[in-house]
Amino acid sequence: MRPNVQRPHWSYSSLNQFLKCPLQYYFERVLGLSRRTTTDAQVLGSAIHAALAEHHGGLMDAKPISTPRIHQAFLASWSDQTSGRDVVYDKRSPDDAKDLGIALIEAYLGEPPPENIVAVEAPMLTPITDSQGEVLEKPLLAVADLIVRGSDGTPKVVEIKTAGRSFSESEVASSLQATCYASALYELTGEEPLVEYAVLVKTKTPKVQRIETIRTLADFGRLGDVAGVVERAVEAEIFYPVESPLNCSSCPFHRECRSWTGPRLEEFGEGEIPVAEEAALAR
């Protein structure tokens, strides 16, 4: 039975979006504004995920999908995503970007295929519990690319990424996404899973980097603490821009952001100004 994903919930993407830029979260998830643009990197990643999901589904059903069909799935997803949308291309032409996607898929298909597949792109809707054992009002929705069981029976989430460089150990060890997926799978199975990143690296000769990490109950409690703070911030309507080249260069809400002015002081009720802001105003 598939979970009811229509109910209010948190996800890695929503938590991460607020942490990166609360104002972008506000535009997209509170006001419901549509993104005017997308980037070729986003299209590439989504199209590769669609193609490999078909590949993994065939393996799970013991009905392997042919390589041409996997390529077709990639190109079909690319076409769907770019039809009628403004795509911002960075350093490549559209044809070069598609060729790169095919090359990355070929690199992945050249690896030993995953075994003991449990689920492909299956949504998991699970509780979020903070470090004090309190369950948050909103659950967590996690859709892992691939869930397998190792030869020793340990469950493992495999997350597929496309990147311009290999990931570092520290990036994976601190990844909020890995924590979200591991937490969801733990809530479903009662087992602490491994998380593996399969990084399709966009080097001149594409390669696949595999790097594993683990999460513990302490990590799941910290996730609940973070989600709880974000939840309270959203309820209090605390939205502000985090301006940086990384955030702003490809932001689809640049126009709205530049016209944003923020709430005026008189809009706060008595006692609603945080202590830090009161101190700043007193200077």
pTM for the full predicted model:
0.86
Burial class (CB in 10 A: 0-12, 13-18, 19+), 275: exposed
Share of the chain above pLDDT 90, in %: 78
At 98-116, the pLDDT tens digits run 999 999 999 999 999 999 9
Mark 61-70 as b/e (b = at least 16 C-beta within 10 Å). eeeebeeeeb
Question: Does residue 2 carry a pLDDT above 80?
Answer: no
Q: Label residue 262 by pLDDT band (50, 70, 90).
A: confident
Decide if domain 10-233 falls under CATH 3.40.50.2000. no
**173-224 pLDDT, tens digit each:** 999 999 999 999 999 999 999 999 999 999 999 999 999 999 999 999 999 9
- Split at pLDDT 50, 70, 90, the class of 90 is confident
Six token digits for residue 57: 């589904």
User: What are the residue boundaries of the structural domains of the chain, listed by start?
Assistant: 10-233
| CB contact set of 165 (below 8 Å; sequence gap of 6+) | 201
Q: Among 142, 131, 158, 171, which residue's Cα sits nearest to residue 60?
A: 158
SS3 call for 27:
helix
